[in-house]
Amino acid sequence: MASQELNQALWNAANVMRSTMSADEYKDYLLGMIFYKYLSDRQLYTVVDLLEDRQPESLDEAQQLYEEARQGEDWDDLKAELEENYSFAIEPQYTFTALYNEINNKTFTTDHLRQAMRDIEQGGEAIRGQKLYEDLFEDFDIDSKSLGTTPAKRNAMLSDVMKELAHIDFTQYGADALGDAYEYLIGQFAAGSGKKAGEFYTPQAVSELITRIVTKGKEGEPAFSIYDKIIAELIQGYSV
């Protein structure tokens, strides 16, 4: 998928929510949904690679194979491989593709999405007392009135967002797909937040320029960090 097509799909999803909430609010929902979609897509493709040593023709094909594998005798081994790669294996019924199919079949409820996100947050082994995805969706309040004043309206809102994102296959976009999606959306959120934009977004071109300035002539120095120059200038400023 070309960058322009990806960005358009992301912005279409944002537009679904823009009529009822500000960028400061809907960014938490959209960024959370993007990560969920990315993780789901990657795992589905990994499933097919592990089972048949090939790439699936589509996410739908991968989903079907995953559902069949869940009932097979090799499920425990497959799950262990996914956990090795991602720290957690999304159950077949809780992938983004599975929930999108529920939307099309009129069986989707927000409780299914809630459970999918809860499983991701609580799944996997703890490392130094904390799980990898713990509190990942902490700001994704499915019961917020901003999504709709009734459960049915909240269901409809999240369904519409997922419909816009369903056409993105993050495995087809490249290794930096998630980062590119985040950068594009953060830029749009900043533009929509007016004077607050600078609080959470610095354009990539500006960041690159600053980096080039502070590292000029320092490339060959051992253990050099861009913070060295910044800290030195701060110390000089305080000593004046």
Is residue 238 situated within a structural domain? no
Mean pLDDT, range 217-227, rounded to an integer: 59
Spatial distance between the Cα atoms of 14 and 30, rounded to a whole number of angstroms: 7
- The domain that holds 55 is classified in CATH as 1.20.1260.30
Is residue 193 situated within a structural domain? no
Give the SS3 label for residue 56: coil
Spatial distance between the Cα atoms of 102 and 123, rounded to a whole number of angstroms: 23
Instruction: Please report the pLDDT score of residue 226 as a whole number.
Output: 47
Number of structural domains in the chain: 1
Instruction: Please report the pLDDT score of residue 92 as a whole number.
Output: 97
Instruction: Please report the pLDDT score of residue 191 as a whole number.
Output: 63
Check whether 219 has a pLDDT greater than 60: yes
Is residue 182 situated within a structural domain? no
* Reported confidence tier of residue 240, pLDDT bands at 50, 70, 90: very low
Percent of the chain whose pLDDT exceeds 90: 51
Is residue 76 situated within a structural domain? yes
Instruction: Please report the pLDDT score of residue 235 as a whole number.
Output: 41
Instruction: Please report the pLDDT score of residue 170 as a whole number.
Output: 87
Is residue 4 situated within a structural domain? yes
CB 184 within 8 A of CB 15: no
Domain that residue 16 falls in: 1-175
* Reported confidence tier of residue 206, pLDDT bands at 50, 70, 90: low
Is residue 164 situated within a structural domain? yes
Spatial distance between the Cα atoms of 28 and 33, rounded to a whole number of angstroms: 9
pLDDT in tens, 129-188: 788 889 999 999 999 999 999 999 999 999 999 999 998 898 887 767 777 777 877 777
CB 190 within 8 A of CB 178: no
Is residue 66 situated within a structural domain? yes
Which tokens in the block code for residue 38? 């990315």
* Reported confidence tier of residue 210, pLDDT bands at 50, 70, 90: low
Is residue 200 situated within a structural domain? no
Q: What average pLDDT is seen over the chain?
A: 83
Check whether 195 has a pLDDT greater than 70: no
pLDDT in tens, 98-115: 999 999 999 999 999 999
pTM: 0.77
Closest by CA position to 122, among listed 94, 153, 102, 81: 94
The torsion region of residue 143 among left (phi > 0), alpha (psi -120 to 50) and beta comes to alpha
- Could you tell me which residue, 64 or 184, shows the higher pLDDT? 64
70: CB partners within 8 A, 6+ apart: 91, 92
Render the burial of 151-185: b for 16+ CB within 10 Å, e for the rest.
eeebbbbbbebbebbbebbbbebeeebbebbbebb
pLDDT in tens, 84-99: 999 899 999 999 999 9
